[in-house]
Amino acid sequence: MTSSIDSIFALSSANARSAIHIHRISGINLLKYFQGYLFKVKSNELINTSLINDQIKSKPFTQYLILKDTEGNIIDDVLFSYFKAPHSYTGEDVIEISSHGNPLISSLLQRLFRHLGLRDALPGEFTQRAYLNSKIDLIQAEGINQLIHTETLGGIQLARESVGGELSKETEEVKNILIEIMAYLEAHIDFAPDEVGDYQPESLLPLMKQALNKMQILLKSYSSGLRAREGVKIALVGKPNAGKSSLYNALLKYERAIVTHIPGTTRDVLEDRLIIRNKDFVLMDTAGIRETEDAVEKIGVERSIKTLTKADIICLVITLENVKYEDYHKFIDESLSEFLLSSEFFSEQIILPVFSKMDTIPNNSLEIIENSYSIIIKDKKFHNFQSILSKKCIFCSYLDTEILSSELVELHDQLTGLLGQKNNPTLISERQRNKIEIAVKNLNEGIDLIYKKDYPEKISSVINQGRQSLQEVVGEIQLDDVLEKIFSTFCIGK
């Protein structure tokens, strides 16, 4: 399938001074456009472009050449690469011209292209043609787009898996299951029992539940993938002077936040990207949470509380610096109670108590603090927080954040489901998620209809709606596939 009869071009590299600029062209019979404009570098001999087309098959042609304008003036010496259809990114003829990276040279090249009858490409048009010419599916197209725009290492990994076809393979498996289900239903609609056997719709339940399970796993992958792509969000919260900003600077390894001994120094939410052992985070430092009459600080406290709703990991920073040894247990209990019982949290959040400024606490206190915390969190008043409250606490200081960093990496893996390590297929766009949600709804409805012993026509209609939603995720599911399954599975056509 050819997407269009016209040929397009675009500068594929940044339009700035650089070592090279890469110009990409896609269309039909592209070499004819350049007849009379390409010359050998040393001999200035004219290149016969028709011979290039005759010489190559599936392998690309690449040569260092001189490119001249319509008046015979040299535009630039370029690396000229030709990919013959369908062995190219778009499935059409593709030419890539690498010139010196001067915007003035690129301007001359583009003037020549327009004179030759090439059209400026629209945004994303090369990838659109690749999709229309069946070189990639929609999932892979979205993966390519994300690969270009993602700002995290996790996003790159997931985009590569999507471009590589991991998600496409998974949806293909679900598609085949739905085709098998529809084949059975269509056969019993169109043919008599003596030709296809007795109608037993309950026999479809294992297949339907298998497809449903695969799609539900994909839906669960979306939130994990979102964290991997955007970075797991960490909020450092607590009372003023708890050591939040010092930890913030220590984790970032540079002086980002202002640190003083004066309570309430931080008045706003600071946010920076953080990478620990190739794991992506968004680290947020917040104003100390307390009652205050200071108008500016009050706004900071409100923003801190609002930040809690965005965080995946909430590090409740507590300092025992000025607390008496015998009061540790009571202070920890009160700190947890005040924070947990005055805020709202989500089921997927993790609250991690972090005891800061541990360089100011005797080493023999650590075990006592840890034991006190273990006892306190078992109190019935914290019963509703058991699923989100960490079972262990972390000790650190701005001098040593290694234990905290290790724990954050473990929590990252927990929140993302170890996506990158297991190469699990992951939904990478809201569009994909919405389509899968519709398919899940249709399949659940189909299961209910089977339990109600409804007509096969009605069940088939519902499954077909799910099939249509699924095909919008990955591509076309032809009705011929259903017919082929009928004829190959059942003894039809005597």
Cα 419 to Cα 335: distance, rounded to the nearest angstrom:
35
Q: Which of 386, 410, 434 delimits the end of a domain? A: 410
The verdict on 262 and 131 lying in the same domain is no
The verdict on 400 and 265 lying in the same domain is yes
Residue 211 lies in a domain: no
Q: Which of 135, 157, 189 delimits the end of a domain? A: 135
Residue 170 lies in a domain: no
Residue 1 lies in a domain: no
Which range (173-177, 251-255, 319-323) has the least confidence? 251-255
The verdict on 266 and 381 lying in the same domain is yes
Tell which wins on pLDDT, 366 or 446: 446
| Number of domains observed in the structure of the chain | 2
Residue 379 lies in a domain: yes
Residue 271 lies in a domain: yes
The verdict on 381 and 258 lying in the same domain is yes
For 134, phi and psi rounded to 5 degrees?
60, 30
The verdict on 383 and 251 lying in the same domain is yes
Residue 167 lies in a domain: no
pLDDT surpassing 80 at residue 487: no
Q: Is 220 in contact with 466 (CB distance < 8 Å)?
A: no
The verdict on 261 and 117 lying in the same domain is no
Q: What is the pLDDT of residues 433-457, one digit of tens each?
A: 998 999 999 999 999 999 988 888 9
Q: Which of 100, 120, 135 delimits the end of a domain? A: 135
Tokens of 191: 């043919």
Range of the domain at 283: 239-315+325-410
Residue 491 lies in a domain: no
Q: What is the pLDDT of residues 218-258, one digit of tens each?
A: 998 888 888 888 889 999 988 888 888 889 888 988 766 54
The verdict on 253 and 115 lying in the same domain is no
The verdict on 250 and 386 lying in the same domain is yes
Q: What is the pLDDT of residues 52-75, one digit of tens each?
A: 877 777 789 999 999 999 999 999
